[in-house]
Structure 1
Amino acid sequence: MPDTSPLLAVPEEDLADLRSRLRRTRWPEPWPGTGWEAGTEIGELRRLVAHWASGYDWRAHEAAVNALPSHFADIGGTPVHYLRFDGEAPGSLPIVLTNGWPSSFLELTGLARRLAEPSRFGGAAADAFTVIVPSLPGFGPSPQRPRLAADEQTHDLWHRLMHDVLGFERYAAQGGDLGAGITSRLAEAHPGSVVGIHLMAVAGPPSYGDLTPEERTYLASVAAWQAEEGGYQHQQRTRPLSLAYGLSDSPAGLLAWLVEKYRAWSDSGGELAARFDDDFLLTQASLYWFTGTIGTSFRPYYEHARQLTPQVNRVEVPTAVAVFPADLAHPPRSWAERTYNVVRYTRMPRGGHFAPYEEPALLAADITGFLRPYR
């Protein structure tokens, strides 16, 4: 018999504990005149914390998450949560969507619905996909992998889910951030099954050789971004557990860590409300809080730094690259072509790191146009 229990069923005492912790937040002494320059601005965080403690209706959002088409698969002893949106047309091409950090499966649901039922959004039913959205190990509903990445790679879990569990002989894949790396390794390792990949970030080649002026400018911009914005990555790569203790104990601290990224990495112009409403941000934070997975979400950074995940060498599977103006990096086509068989390269007019949520229509159209010849 299939498991019909809800994905989320937070006990009332856990909800009361969260609200109590939020109301008892011990706030640091504010600095004069820094705004967001030194980190999350205290006035905005106080406002969100007060709403999370008193106005935010977790039960309504819990019910909405539970209404999603959730499933679990046991893949060699590793439980994997995933959403399945069946395509509206017979024989719809399967596609697996993979999020990055600090995102979750929830950010991908709007994009998934557009891809699965394009006629609802002004598209053609013939362009429908059957969309699979797995939760990364250690993110929300999927528990962390019981083994080190060197022994169990996420991209291989995805192939076993798509090919062995769900029975898809051919499928496509899409991802950004961490999801772009997983998607890239999936295509490199399983080119006989993966018909095409769509990326919002690209892996660099193992060696550079001669660089074009555009590529030199790009690498300089990456270095400048790392110097200004990369502190989170260095901490999560080197001493993630020291950070995890505090964020797992303080919901205000957890929210501060997440909200800073949503503001800085989106096409928001510095205004969170331009892209994200309060309840969306608080639901994302609540998913991490109630599942206790903020610390395990850091594992990909730590394992990658210790070379427990493989370098992407050369991907011959047809590849599309979409570059969003407010994303973390803007690789030129020539840079992507050093590693990938790039057949489509699009500079988007708007959107950022959270493009599946910020600009689902733009992204769905680009994925659909790219994959139409490979159905």
Structure 2
Amino acid sequence: MSTVRPFRIDIPQAEIDDLRARLRNTRWAPSLPGADWERGVPTEYLREVAEYWATEFDWRAQETALNAFPQFVTEIEGLDVHVVHVRSPEPDAVPLLLTHGWPNSFVEFTRTIGPLTDPRAHGLDPAIAFDVVIPSVPGFAFSQAPRETGMTTATVARMWTTLMARLGYDRYGTQGGDLGAYIAPEMAVAAPEHVIGVHLDGGIGMPTAADVPAMSARDRAEWDEMQQWMTGGVDHHALLKAAPQSFAAGWNDSPVALLAWMLQKFQEFTPMAELAEDVIDRDHLLTNVALYWFTQTTGTSSWPMYDGLRDGGFAWPRDQNLVPTGVYGGGSPLMRTLADRGNKITHWPADNPGNHFVAMEEPTAHATDIRTFFAELR
């Protein structure tokens, strides 16, 4: 059970050919009235990206690039877990576990691996380097899906602490955004004696309705703006909590249905850009979409929604004051006040660039911020 086995991605050619045939044979839905993204992904834009996916996107090139990173599989709590594990050439590297988000995969971090593990090769101070561990969350990509309901972010965090011990690490940092922002602090709760610090992309200090009565007029205005932002777009939490099996039937059978869903969500996650691919390279986006297609994980990856993010329903990542916390996108004074109530905040920068998936959009800035936070904890 404790064996760590080498892993290599090798999608059969027949599956690649089948994907291209399905894309070519799409039965396109007619365009609905409305401008731009008012009714969802514009049909002409979707057709253009689908055509690119079928005729120009080179999966084999992306597969080769992914296989350049050492990958492994190991069984933890009855599930095979896929993990990218890249050791630094620097002798005093800090072990660092990165947890991806939804609807993302380990591909989220591929452009930050180099600056984190081999800073010397990227013109950075080699005194701050990391051994990087990037596991695929159960049900995502090449990690086995939960066999029963009841999987939680705390369970995954416990699995990750087992993984780090199995890889030989006693003291390490943890990092994540989106779904990863739930799992990273849970690792500190599970093993505070092993976790040196928690770095989050965001999702901390978020107010709730219970905080409203004590808010100032300025804070209440911010709360009202946040409500408009949080209720915009497609509520994937409600959708996937209610009927993930129904929606997965379409996403698992039609690559265009999957592509439309992914483009919709990444568009909503990049509010400061006109198009998601203006800030995230199209091939990077399609590599992530293709992984969901080839591994058939659009349904299995939805467990955070139907099992609930903590306590059976949606809630923001829980606080932990056991180890220091740093945040890439600190947020407003209101959020800092709320974050300080239950966390040891030691890093809260302002004006870091990027939208939601900053490791994909701003890999250099993301790696720099991680380096800055953990440099204070060595």
Same fold judged by TM-score > 0.5?
Answer: yes
Match of 1:369? 372
Say whether 1:321 aligns with 2:333: no
Contact kept in structure 1, 2:325 and 2:347, CA below 8 Å: yes
| Counterpart pick for 1:247 among 248, 251, 274 | 251
From the superposition, tell whether residues 132 and 54 of structure 1 become closer, same or farther in structure 2 (CA, over 3 Å).
same
Contact kept in structure 1, 2:273 and 2:279, CA below 8 Å: no
Match of 2:349? 346
Match of 2:199? 198
Q: Aligned partners of 2:309 and 2:112: how far apart in 1?
A: 31
Q: How many residues align?
A: 370
From the superposition, tell whether residues 368 and 213 of structure 1 become closer, same or farther in structure 2 (CA, over 3 Å).
farther
Letter aligned with residue 348 of structure 2: Y
SS in 2 for 1:179: helix
> 1:317-374: per-residue Cα shift (whole Å, max 9, x none)?
101112188xxx9972112212311111012342111101111111111111111121
> 1:219-272: per-residue Cα shift (whole Å, max 9, x none)?
333321232124222202222222111111110010011112222322662133
Match of 1:260? 264
Using the TM superposition, give the Cα deviation of residue 212 of structure 1 relative to its aligned residue in structure 2, in angstroms.
Answer: 4.5
From the superposition, tell whether residues 345 and 150 of structure 1 become closer, same or farther in structure 2 (CA, over 3 Å).
closer
From the superposition, tell whether residues 313 and 350 of structure 1 become closer, same or farther in structure 2 (CA, over 3 Å).
closer
Match of 1:179? 180
From the superposition, tell whether residues 285 and 151 of structure 1 become closer, same or farther in structure 2 (CA, over 3 Å).
closer
Contact kept in structure 2, 1:247 and 1:294, CA below 8 Å: yes
> 1:117-139: per-residue Cα shift (whole Å, max 9, x none)?
11122211110011111111111
Letter aligned with residue 12 of structure 1: Q
Aligned positions of 1:1-375 closer than 5 A: 3=5, 6=8, 8-147=9-148, 148-149=150-151, 153-163=155-165, 165-203=166-204, 204=206, 208=211, 210-213=214-217, 215-266=219-270, 269-304=273-308, 307-308=311-312, 312-323=318-329, 332-375=335-378
Unpaired runs of 5+ in structure 1?
none
Q: Aligned partners of 1:95 and 1:349: how far apart in 2?
A: 21
Letter aligned with residue 94 of structure 1: P
Q: Aligned partners of 1:45 and 1:133: how far apart in 2?
A: 31
From the superposition, tell whether residues 146 and 80 of structure 1 become closer, same or farther in structure 2 (CA, over 3 Å).
same
**Greater CA drift, 301-310 or 104-113:** 301-310
**Greater CA drift, 238-247 or 225-234:** 225-234
Q: Aligned partners of 1:341 and 1:5: how far apart in 2?
A: 38
Q: Aligned partners of 2:307 and 2:20: how far apart in 1?
A: 34
Using the TM superposition, give the Cα deviation of residue 4 of structure 1 relative to its aligned residue in structure 2, in angstroms.
Answer: 5.0
Letter aligned with residue 19 of structure 1: R
SS in 2 for 1:374: coil
Letter aligned with residue 200 of structure 2: L
**Greater CA drift, 301-310 or 282-291:** 301-310
Please give the TM-score of this superposition, normalised by the length of structure 2: 0.90
Q: Aligned partners of 2:326 and 2:264: how far apart in 1?
A: 29
Unpaired runs of 5+ in structure 2?
none
| Amino-acid identity (%) | 35
Contact kept in structure 1, 2:7 and 2:71, CA below 8 Å: no
Using the TM superposition, give the Cα deviation of residue 154 of structure 1 relative to its aligned residue in structure 2, in angstroms.
Answer: 0.4
Letter aligned with residue 97 of structure 2: V
> 1:88-131: per-residue Cα shift (whole Å, max 9, x none)?
32131111011111111112021122111111222111100111
**Greater CA drift, 337-346 or 147-156:** 147-156
Q: Aligned partners of 2:43 and 2:98: how far apart in 1?
A: 35
SS in 1 for 2:175: strand
From the superposition, tell whether residues 183 and 5 of structure 1 become closer, same or farther in structure 2 (CA, over 3 Å).
closer
Using the TM superposition, give the Cα deviation of residue 178 of structure 1 relative to its aligned residue in structure 2, in angstroms.
Answer: 0.6
Q: Aligned partners of 1:34 and 1:247: how far apart in 2?
A: 25
From the superposition, tell whether residues 330 and 29 of structure 1 become closer, same or farther in structure 2 (CA, over 3 Å).
farther
Contact kept in structure 2, 1:89 and 1:125, CA below 8 Å: yes
Contact kept in structure 2, 1:85 and 1:113, CA below 8 Å: no
Letter aligned with residue 85 of structure 1: V
